[in-house]
Amino acid sequence: MKNDYFHRVAALTPTKLWINNVTPDEAEWAIAAGALGCTQNPSYTWKMLTHEDGKEHALSLLDETLKESDDDNEVECILQRKLVKRIADKFMTVYNRTNGAHGYVSIQGDPIHEEDPQVIIDEARKNRQMSPNIMVKIPATEAGLAAMGVLIEEDTPLNATEVMGLSQVIDVCEMYHKITARTKKKPIMYFSLITGIYDEWFGKEVKKLGIEISPDVVYQAGMIVAKKVYKFVHDRGYQLGFIGGGVRGLQHFTEMVGGDVCITMNWMGQVDRLLELNQPVVSRLFNPVQEHVLDELLSKAPPFRQAYMETGLDVKDYETYGPVEYFRDMFITSWENALKLIKERRAALVS
């Protein structure tokens, strides 16, 4: 048995490594390190169009794809599929080895038109045609939930993403439970609690609002939400898998060790760093939260209460909730950067 950090985590706990937004080389390294799945997001196309090791191939694919559509946004969607297909092919080894239990590559496309359920559904159906191990990733917003409802009935593997609070988790899980009870179809489905992004946003929001609260308490906010979500899902017996994402510090993996969760991280600076540190495997997820820390967050920080409480958010609030917008804006920027390059590339090829 391999004795590196992630293989020891897998041997001693149910915690699983996933990898995020990888190049083909990083996918191979991650699989060798024990990764069981992969998440690719809307910034992936821009990453590969500008990546030192992937730019030449991505631009070649772009030139090919420009011949397939006059619509630049459609070109980006098609290009993303071509780029992600290479990663899905690599994870088919994991998919086949585990008889389809693992080895999924989740793809989240166009972030600009996410308010239209039909656009999400149409794109999801196209993405699923790529490979049997493609999992469709959809934001847990009002429009996203409507789209997921249709796709669950079609037995589509799903990853409900941009989840920043317990309310979203409950709505996603309850929808899945009701639909699968009626249809008897149970596609594999996860929700992605974006703990790292929530922490990044929350720290900035506390400063912006002038909330006087200990930095050490602020540091714990996202993990406190994650612990409550984990217990809630377990106690309710919900059948969805738990993915932790948006990792910004190594604690977003190490503090989740011990739980039956998948944590998706970047290779550079995160997975490679934990491999280098090769620290002891310690289960920490079930360590209790100090009461005075939780009290301080609940009493001083309304944005924390929105994420932590069962009724902290209404479904109509999901799309405009601070950390969701903060996260989505990153994707929109990358998507628009790629669109600009596509337009320039098209003009250059014509001239």
HEC assignment per residue over 249-315: CCHHHHCCCCCCCEEEECHHHHHHHHHHHCCCCCCCCCCCCCHHHHHHHHHHCHHHHHHHCCCCCCH
- Identify the pLDDT of residue 258: 98
- Phi/psi of residue 333, nearest 5 degrees: -60, -45
Q: Tokens 């009935």 appear where?
A: 153
Q: What is the CATH topology of the domain spanning 5-350? A: TIM Barrel (3.20.20)
SS3 165: coil
Report pLDDT for 53: 85
Residue 349: the pLDDT is 85
Q: Give me the tens of pLDDT residue by residue for the chain, a chain 351 residues long.
A: 588 999 999 999 999 999 999 999 999 999 999 999 999 999 999 999 999 988 999 999 999 999 999 999 999 999 999 999 999 999 999 999 999 999 999 999 999 998 899 999 999 999 999 999 999 999 999 999 999 999 999 999 999 999 999 999 999 999 999 999 999 999 999 999 999 999 999 999 999 999 999 999 999 999 999 999 999 999 999 999 999 999 999 999 999 999 999 999 999 999 999 999 999 999 999 999 999 999 999 999 999 999 999 999 999 999 999 999 999 999 999 999 999 999 999 999 876
DSSP SS3 for 107: strand
Distance CA 192, CA 4 (A): 26
What pLDDT score does 70 carry? 95
CB 72 within 8 A of CB 81: no
Sequence-ordered list of residues with C-beta below 8 angstroms from that of 180, at least 6 positions apart, any chain: 152, 186, 239
How much is the pLDDT for 314?
96
The pLDDT value recorded for residue 350 is 77
- Please tell me the pTM assigned to this model: 0.95
Residue-wise burial string across 238-275, b where 16 or more C-beta atoms lie within 10 A, e elsewhere: bebbbbbbbbbebbbbbbbbbbebbbbbbbeebbbebe
Give domain limits for the chain. Answer: 5-350
